[in-house]
Structure 1
Amino acid sequence: MLIDTLTADRALAVVRAPRIDDPGALCRALVAGGIRTVEFTFTTPSVEAVIAAAAAEPHGALVGAGTVTDARTAEAAIAAGAQFLVTPGLSESAAAVAREAGVPIMLGALSPSEVMRAVELGSAAVKVFPASAVGPGYLKDLRGPFPGIPFVPSGGLHAGNAAEWMSAGALAVTAGSSVVGAADIEEAAWEAVAEKARVFTAAAHR
């Protein structure tokens, strides 16, 4: 379901904030804007409770956990109800937990060797991170030897460059603070989030 949803929407949202009081409302806003894959990261305090609250509501979004770095965080995320996991780099222990639980994982990688290892570990898609450090041309080069691997660049993406990353061969692009800022969450500016999501997904589909 993760790959199918990313293929259809061409985008996923990464949410980093010091506090998220209403994750269900945030998910509804993102879905209204065309983003149905939402990643809550372990950089948010007590993110397990956020994931559990989001997963309990019928908003139509896939709720996942990001910044998963080891077996412990993978297990905590899955126990909270995460439907997918995302790592910033290669974590063999997190991948093992995901495989055992039957939960898709998107492992972070940058070099060709890391991409190959991510695939060996069962990554559903490969997160190219930090994307801003290499640019779309790098992804295009990766697509040469790895034409069948679904890549999702993350880091520094926004509506102004999303189309360029898609043209370089991305399966989907990651919407971070340019779509969901900490201030938006604090102010419950859900209409603003939905509109920024619409703009971002429109760019990704161009």
Structure 2
Amino acid sequence: MSPLTDHELTELLAADRTLAVVRAASIPDAAALAAALRAGGVRSLELTLTTPGVLTHVRRAVEGGDGTVVGVGTVMTGDQARAAIDAGAQFLVTPGIRAEVARVAVEAGVPVCLGAMTPSEVAQALDLGSSVVKVFPARQVGPAFLKDLQGPFPGIRLLPSGGSMPPTPAAFSTPAPSRCAAGPLSCRRRPSRAGSGRTSRPGQRPSPQRCRPPGSSDLDRGRGAHHVHDSHVPG
């Protein structure tokens, strides 16, 4: 897998306006999950360090995800950043300002998305080399906050994340590619012919149609950091 540049990550997020974030108790088949998301139009996947065995899942998703861009989230330390990069992570995401994570990522040439909540933190994230600034938790501030940040930081790339999508998700969407909305992304198991709720046969990949944001046909495949919860991870 060739290295991902800052420009390539920002262009991917601007085009898809979606980043699937998986935080789960277990992932039966990370490669199948990544491939299904990509087939459904979601080309970037963040696997969080709170998921047991996540580095193994990263390797499998990178190797068998049909070209899905795979990153690691909830990175808190430099050692975690190095381990994630060694496992094949193509980008890193943090919940807040983590200078050591940024340093490791920048030195390795790996894009990093630092979390920020205030204008001061946004400025610090940019100073540390954040490719895209993750606004977290976005549901606490709303779309007007993102618009206001464009004043002192013109052209900044923002990735709102955290919580569920508001009742009118289009409120977070603007014509500018630098902003997008946050919300849930459900990935459910395909029922077997017997109706057991399991996959039809071992190794079968989940249906791409079952891995997409609710109402994605109306939302142009969704916008922002969409979270896949453990009860919805296909196996």
TM-score by length of 2: 0.77
Counterparts in 2 of 1:117 and 1:195: CA distance versus 1, 3 Å: closer
Contact 1:2–1:104 under 8 Å retained in 2: yes
Contact 1:108–1:129 under 8 Å retained in 2: yes
Give SS of 2:71's match.
Answer: strand
2:185 corresponding residue in structure 1: 179
2:211 corresponding residue in structure 1: 194
Distance 1:88 1:139 in 2: 17
Contact 1:11–1:201 under 8 Å retained in 2: no
- 1:73 aligns to 2:92 (yes or no): no
Contact 1:137–1:168 under 8 Å retained in 2: no
1:59 corresponding residue in structure 2: 66
Q: Which of the two has higher C-alpha Rg?
A: 2
Distance 2:89 2:181 in 1: 18
- 1:42 aligns to 2:59 (yes or no): no
User: C-alpha deviations, 1:67-110, integer Å up to 9, x for none?
Assistant: 01110111111011000000000000000100111000000001
Task: List gaps (5 residues or longer) in structure 2.
Answer: 1-7, 191-196, 200-205, 225-235
- 1:121 aligns to 2:128 (yes or no): yes
Instruction: Tell me the matched-pair count.
Output: 203
Give SS of 1:54's match.
Answer: helix
Distance 2:186 2:166 in 1: 13
Counterparts in 2 of 1:58 and 1:202: CA distance versus 1, 3 Å: closer
Give SS of 2:221's match.
Answer: helix
2:101 corresponding residue in structure 1: 94
Identity of aligned residues (%): 46
Distance 1:156 1:137 in 2: 17
Counterparts in 2 of 1:97 and 1:193: CA distance versus 1, 3 Å: farther
Task: List gaps (5 residues or longer) in structure 1.
Answer: none
TM-score by length of 1: 0.87
Give SS of 2:159's match.
Answer: strand
